[in-house]
Amino acid sequence: MQKRQLGTILILLGALLLAGALGLLGYNQWDNGRAQKAAAQVLDQLETTLDEQENHLQLLVPTQVDDTAREMTVTAIDGWDYIGYLSIPSIGLALPVMSEWSYPGLKIAPGRYAGSVFTDDLVICGHNYARHFSPVKRLAVGTTVQFVDMDGREWDYTVSKVETLQPTQIEEMVDKADGDDWDLTLFTCTTGGSARCAVRCTRVETAS
């Protein structure tokens, strides 16, 4: 009798665990879809803003600017500030990039963690969503990456290295060590979240 009761309890526990796993899977799929839709809506607005700015800038007289001291242009959309968008054609990925990262912001789009395109040390972090930064973990060396800032300038890069860092290795993530030649870093959590996958990219030409 006791064995039968124990068996029934184990079956019920197994069913509860299975239901919980299915519920978590369903939530993750819903959250991935929500994040993809949110980023796509912002990207459409950013591209419209850039088109309007391009028409306006054609009427202005160019001036000489010390780019290393220049601040990246910021555009506000729905209460969030953006510095441009990221494009990786080989995997069909295009995402807006927020001016500053935050946990609530990462539910919408990747964000700037540190640096700038003008000083060749821009670091962008993104959530491990299926259509946000999860695919960047599998980028091969030589993959083309492009960043378009809110002045319409296109910054072209290629992946030079992919490395794994611990969450505590903040300086290693944002500061260049001797011999480092990266100009752009994209990073996200590894599967399980115990470490960070950093994709280092090198700029291949002057921004157009």
Average pLDDT, the chain: 85
Asked whether the predicted pLDDT for residue 177 surpasses 50, the reply is yes
Rounded Cα distance between 103 and 117, Å, is 23
- Give me the mean pLDDT over the 75-99 stretch: 96
Higher pLDDT, 109 or 7: 109
- State pLDDT tens for residues 109-162: 999 999 999 999 999 999 999 999 999 999 999 999 999 999 999 999 999 999
Please tell me the total number of residues recorded for the chain in this structure: 208
pLDDT for 2: 62
Looking at the chain, the whole-number percentage of residues with pLDDT higher than 70 is 77
Tokens of 165: 């860092």
- The answer to whether the beta carbons of residues 74 and 150 sit under 8 Å apart is yes
- The answer to whether the beta carbons of residues 126 and 188 sit under 8 Å apart is yes
pLDDT for 149: 96
| DSSP states of the chain | -HHHHHHHHHHHHHHHHHHHHHHHHHHHHHHHHHHHHHHHHHHHHHHHHHHHHHHHHTTSPP----GGGPPPP-EEETTEEEEEEEEEGGGTEEEEEESS--HHHHTTS-EEEE--TTTT-EEEE----TTTTGGGGGPPTT-EEEEEETT--EEEEEEEEEEEE-TT-HHHHHSPPTT---SEEEEEEPTTSSSEEEEEEEE-S---
**Residues facing 144 on adjacent strands:** 158
Rounded Cα distance between 139 and 95, Å, is 16
pLDDT for 26: 63
pLDDT for 3: 62
pTM value is: 0.79
- Give me the mean pLDDT over the 49-74 stretch: 65
Query: Among 44-58, 83-97, 104-118, 154-168, which stretch is predicted with the lowest mean pLDDT?
Result: 44-58
CATH fold label, 46-203: Sortase; Chain: A; (2.40.260)
pLDDT for 4: 67
Domains of the chain, residue spans: 46-203
